[in-house]
Structure 1
Amino acid sequence: MVTAHHAVLDLLARYEPKSTAERADVERVRALVASGDPWRRSSPLHVTGSALIVHQESGRVLLRWHQRHASWLLVGGHADPDESDPLAIALREGREETGLTDLVPWPDAEVRHLVIVPVPANAREEAHEHADIRFVLATRSPEAVRPENPHAPLRWLTPREAHRVITEENIQETLSRVEPLLAG
């Protein structure tokens, strides 16, 4: 698991948290990595990789309806057994959840936000937390978007429209961090 630890620690070494709360979340992730397998889904806290997908030319962002949370969220999720790179996870999940095959890190491959989010219990798993490492991915073909299933619709929105439909504060924060990139 040296490579799993290395990928996360390397990303965190280059990342500058934007708040005291985020700094505390980064330290929790470092401790998680030091204590064992940060990807194990059975752990009450585990690392996930997510992204806000953008279409730079139109200045729009893509949101995905998440039925379990009943809210508009980013694309992303858990590592597969052979994965240990949060960016690779975000890219795979982005492709699977949107059908977009041309996704690339934008404007670079750096972390844009790290937040630990609570996940409520359901019939399959207990309540737990995701240490969500977030990136920005871009597409040049927004019209190619296809939801992975009928219960997970996708919406292209301007940042202003996205702020109106997002109910999760941590997603609002991610969007706020990406807006200047789209504007600039």
Structure 2
Amino acid sequence: MVTAQHAVLGLLARYEPKNTTERADAERVRTLVTSGDPWQRSSPLHVTGSALIVHPESGRVLLRWHQRHESWLLVGGHADPDESDPLAIALREGREETGLTDLAPWPDAGIRHLAIVPVPANSREAAHEHADIRFTLATRTPEAVRPENPQAPLRWLTPREARQVITEENIQETLSRVEALLAD
């Protein structure tokens, strides 16, 4: 089994952060990974894996309503026990949250964006941060999309439409990076 350290550090070694903030975030993640279990949800900073799902043929992206944050977000989340690969986590979460069984990394399996995102406290957990490692996943069957529950609707949007509904600046940045790929 690949250790959490090897999986995350390997991905980070192949990734070139795009700006100063992202370089600092990547360094925080490296420090987190080398100091222990980066997936521990009880830690004030822990790694998550997420993705922007695309349908390359139509140029559309898929967003998921997140009731707790009251905003349109990417699919993704926390590691299950014994998971240590952020891409595998993004793929599993993507399948669970959308019902799409054909998801695959697109155009490659590299990190698309790394963002440390603050998560406010709620009745179940203290405020903390997600070191969110983001990928792009593609489907050939966008019509097969099914939300995992009625409180988490899904929407296929053009990048321009998505830009109108996304309220999180870090999600806008992920969208910009993926939009450039879709335009190619």
Tell me by how many angstroms 1:3 deviates.
1.1
SS of match in other structure, 2:3 = helix
1:67 aligns with 2:67: yes
Mapped partners of 2:150, 2:72: distance in 1: 15
Provide the aligned C-alpha RMSD in A.
0.9
- Aligned partner of 1:163 in structure 2 is 163
User: What residue in structure 2 maps to residue 8 of structure 1?
Assistant: 8
Alignment of 1:45 with 2:45, yes or no, is yes
- What pairs with 1:169-184 in structure 2 (closer than 5 Å)? 169-184=169-184
The answer to whether 1:90 aligns with 2:103 is no
- 1:2 Cα deviation from its structure 2 partner: 6.6
> Which TM-score applies when normalising by structure 2?
0.99
Contact 2:117–2:131 (CA<8 Å) still a contact in 1?
yes
* Identical aligned residues as a percent: 88
The one-letter code sitting in structure 2 at the alignment partner of 1:103 is L
1:146 to 1:24, Cα distance in 2 relative to 1, 3 A: same
Aligned letter for 2:101?
T
Distance 2:148 2:72 in 1: 15
- Partner amino acid for 1:60? R
Give the CA deviation at 1:79.
0.2
Contact 2:77 2:89 in 1 (8 A): yes
Count residues in correspondence.
184
TM normalised by structure 1 equals 0.99
> In the alignment, what sits opposite 1:58?
58
The answer for unaligned runs of 5 or more in structure 1 is none
Partner Cα separation in structure 2 for residue 38 and residue 8 of structure 1 = 9
Residue 180 of structure 1 and its aligned partner are, at CA, apart by 1.1
| 1:33-83 deviations in Å (ceiling 9; x for gaps) | 011000000000000000000000000000000000000000000000110
- The amino acid of 1:140's aligned partner reads R
Distance 1:129 1:165 in 2: 23
The AA in structure 1 aligned to 2:142 is: P
8 Å Cα contact 2:99-2:147 kept in structure 1: yes
Runs of 4+ in 1 over 6 A off after TM superposition: none
**Residues 72-83 of structure 1: pairs in structure 2 closer than 5 A:** 72-83=72-83
